[in-house]
A and B are shown apart, each in its own frame.
Chain A
Amino acid sequence: MWGSRLGVILAVSGSAVGLGNFLRFPGNAAENGGGAFLIPYFIAFLVLGVPIGWAEWTMGRLGGQKGLHSAPAIIGYWGRGAAARYLGAFGVLVPLVVYFYYVLIEAWCLSYAWDYLSGGIGIAREQTVAQQVAASADYFGELSGRAADGLFAAGGSGQSIVFWVIAFTLNLWFLYRGLSRGIEAFCRWAMPVMAVCALILLIRVLTLGTPDPALPEQSVASGLNFMWNPDFSALGSFQTWLAATGQIFFSLSVGFGVIINYASYMKKNDDVVLSSLTSSATNEFFEVVFGGMITLTAAVVFLGLAATHANVGGTFSTGFVALPVVFVRMPYGELFGAIWFFMLFLAAITSSLSMLQPTKAFFREALDVSHGAATAIVAALCIAGNIFVLWFSKGLVALDTLDFWVGTFMIFIVAGTQIICFGWVFGIDKALAEAGRGAQVRIPRLFRFVIKYVSPAYLLVIFLGFCWYDLPPYWRSVFGDPQTGAPAERAVIYSWLVILGTIALLMAVTAIGARRWRAQGLDIDGRGAAADGPEPGREDSQ
């Protein structure tokens, strides 16, 4: 069980606040209408992010009351049967497979922080921006092993392996210490420290003024204008809406199988409505205030508009190529670079911890093994997955493939299953009544309609848009681009095998678990659901 309510809120917030808040959001906004991007962004927050968050917290808490803590068991209960249960297994697949590559990115952040503490990454101050960007890209390429496959030999650098071991061990240690003494205790200090780091960087960036009077366009005002100046014509493009919705969706950690597990350790009458809203708001604060003010502003001040346009956009190019150049040019850049990458490391580790916990809970309850044995199973699977991604590092193809199919595509499946089970199978009135149990704030009645009709429809449209716009270019980049060639294809096929193998394993364990849960007398098909819970309309709210 969680030690306190604030602890669970910070743990869920820590899960949501990740690299995307600082690196993906600003690039996404600047490319899709600047300030105008915030219109579809906040609409998606209201009709998708907040309602699915409420659904996940509620499903998790009720599941916990029924003795269930893993996504397959809980979604099976809410969806009343085997189909939902097996779809719920994707709620374990997503965090597990995303961890296969996410902890490596986390290790890069720690490695960069260490580099900056020990004097920087070796980019010469007197070079031009273009030369510095090239040097920065080379450094990142060497660290991540983008040049060739293999561990120490041809591709990956020894440094990335060392920091992977450190990051992995830290994750495992906090996981082993358990929910309250491990994850909660860590998030209770990591989240405020992250906020303090972000505040220091924000103050530094906003007080930069115009460092070079000969280049008046490279100023804080220009940087903020680059990020926030609204281009209303972008609102007419479906891709702007897709990008805004995707940003909200992936940023809030909904459909990840994490919240449902975390909430299952809450008490029967613990509030879920305000808690969910608070963690979503925390994520938005980090994203809009810190992500929206720091990254691009600093880039424009030191790189200029043209170089910012050219080098800022993707998460890796922004975080690991463009920003190191910014820190070379910034006074006391080593110090601020160390703070920046340490903050990113904290953002990443609070997220990666949340990926391990649902997987551990699943193996523990499905196989009826001890806490230590479940931790060992998760560790073994993750080591295998990490080594796979480390080995097939050329062009980061394995990482991209896992991210595209599991970290993006399958999240739609989990989120869609959850919202359908919540609003349709379980019944919207009963579900909202359950959400209202112990609630400190009332869910507005309008959300009955939103959760039942708008959220699933919106999700479907966005999913179809994703398939229409993002799948074909992805397909071409893998099979049609001569630059990627045969080795990339091989890594893609192996990545699919890893995904399919993991799905098969999780389905088999779900089947074993279902037999065991039934033998224990647990109501995994939600047969008693009709008799359980408060009556519709009797919301215990303030």
Chain B
Amino acid sequence: MTLLAMIFMSVALAGVTVLTAWCYYRVLKEESLSTRSKDQR
């Protein structure tokens, strides 16, 4: 496997993984906050 192939693959995989993880982190954080505030009410 060439170095360039490895670089392209790593950047693409890291990019979509970080984006997806960040999105779900924000969504789930918001969901848990709203569940907690409902429970408190």
Q: Decide if B40 is an interface residue (CB 8 Å cutoff).
A: no
Q: Which B1-39 residues have a C-beta within 8 angstroms of A?
A: 1-2, 4-9, 12-13, 15-17, 19-20, 23-24, 26-28, 30-31
Closest to A38 in B: B12
Contact B13 A288 (CB under 8 A): yes
A278 and B23 alpha carbons, distance in the complex (Å):
5
Closest to A41 in B: B12
Please judge, given known A-B contacts A271-B30, A282-B20, whether A288 and B12 are in contact too, CB under 8 Å: yes
Contact A281 B16 (CB under 8 A): yes
Pick from B8, B12, B28: contact of A6, CB below 8 A: B28
Contact A281 B2 (CB under 8 A): no
A417 and B19 alpha carbons, distance in the complex (Å):
29
A277 and B9 alpha carbons, distance in the complex (Å):
22
Pick from A6, A36, A289: contact of B16, CB below 8 A: A289
Q: Tell me which residues across on chain B come within 8 A of A228, comparing CB atoms.
A: 1, 5-6, 8-9, 12
Which interface class (under 10, 10 to 19, 20 to 34, 35 or more) fits A? 20 to 34
Q: Which A195-251 residues have a C-beta within 8 angstroms of B?
A: 221-222, 224-225, 227-230
Q: Tell me which residues across on chain B come within 8 A of A284, comparing CB atoms.
A: 16, 19-20
Q: Tell me which residues across on chain A come within 8 A of B30, comparing CB atoms.
A: 5, 271, 274, 440
A36 and B7 alpha carbons, distance in the complex (Å):
11
Q: Give per-residue flags for A267-285: 1 if the beta carbon is below 8 A from chain B beta carbons, else 0.
A: 0000100110110011011
Q: Tell me which residues across on chain A come within 8 A of B4, comparing CB atoms.
A: 35, 229-230
CB A461 to nearest CB in B, in angstroms, measures 24
Q: Tell me which residues across on chain B come within 8 A of A5, comparing CB atoms.
A: 27, 30-31
A221 and B6 alpha carbons, distance in the complex (Å):
10
Q: Which A365-391 residues have a C-beta within 8 angstroms of B?
A: none
Pick from A6, A35, A227: contact of B27, CB below 8 A: A6
Contact B5 A35 (CB under 8 A): yes
**Chain A residues touching B, majority SS:** helix
Contact A440 B5 (CB under 8 A): no
Q: Tell me which residues across on chain B come within 8 A of A4, comparing CB atoms.
A: 31
Contact A225 B20 (CB under 8 A): no
A42 and B12 alpha carbons, distance in the complex (Å):
9
Q: In the complex, how many residues of chain B place their beta carbon closer than 8 angstroms to a beta carbon of chain A?
A: 22
A65 and B3 alpha carbons, distance in the complex (Å):
52
Contact B12 A278 (CB under 8 A): no
Please judge, given known A-B contacts A228-B8, A228-B9, A288-B13, whether A281 and B31 are in contact too, CB under 8 Å: no
Please judge, given known A-B contacts A6-B28, A274-B26, A278-B23, whether A292 and B12 are in contact too, CB under 8 Å: yes
Contact B27 A222 (CB under 8 A): no
A281 and B31 alpha carbons, distance in the complex (Å):
18
Please judge, given known A-B contacts A274-B26, A284-B19, A441-B26, whether A38 and B8 are in contact too, CB under 8 Å: yes
Q: Decide if A513 is an interface residue (CB 8 Å cutoff).
A: no
Contact A224 B20 (CB under 8 A): no
Q: Tell me which residues across on chain B come within 8 A of A282, comparing CB atoms.
A: 20, 23
Q: Decide if A337 is an interface residue (CB 8 Å cutoff).
A: no
Q: Decide if A34 is an interface residue (CB 8 Å cutoff).
A: yes
Q: Tell me which residues across on chain A come within 8 A of B13, comparing CB atoms.
A: 288-289, 292-293
Q: Tell me which residues across on chain A come within 8 A of B6, comparing CB atoms.
A: 228
Please judge, given known A-B contacts A5-B31, A289-B17, whether A225 and B1 are in contact too, CB under 8 Å: yes
CB A12 to nearest CB in B, in angstroms, measures 12
Q: Tell me which residues across on chain A come within 8 A of B17, comparing CB atoms.
A: 285, 289
Q: Tell me which residues across on chain B come within 8 A of A274, comparing CB atoms.
A: 23, 26-27, 30
A228 and B4 alpha carbons, distance in the complex (Å):
8
Closest to A277 in B: B23
Closest to B9 in A: A228
Closest to A288 in B: B16
Q: Give per-residue flags for A76-116: 1 if the beta carbon is below 8 A from chain B beta carbons, else 0.
A: 00000000000000000000000000000000000000000
Sorted from nearest, which 7 A-B pairs have the closest CB atoms? A35-B8, A278-B23, A229-B5, A228-B5, A228-B9, A221-B1, A281-B20
Residues of chain A whose beta carbon lies under 8 Å from any beta carbon of chain B:
4-6, 9, 34-36, 38, 42, 221-222, 224-225, 227-230, 271, 274-275, 277-278, 281-282, 284-285, 288-289, 292-293, 440-441
- Would you mind naming 22 contact pairs between A and B with Cβ atoms under 8 Å apart? A4-B31, A5-B31, A6-B27, A9-B27, A35-B8, A36-B8, A221-B1, A225-B2, A228-B5, A229-B1, A229-B8, A230-B8, A271-B30, A274-B23, A281-B16, A282-B20, A285-B16, A285-B20, A289-B16, A292-B9, A292-B12, A440-B26
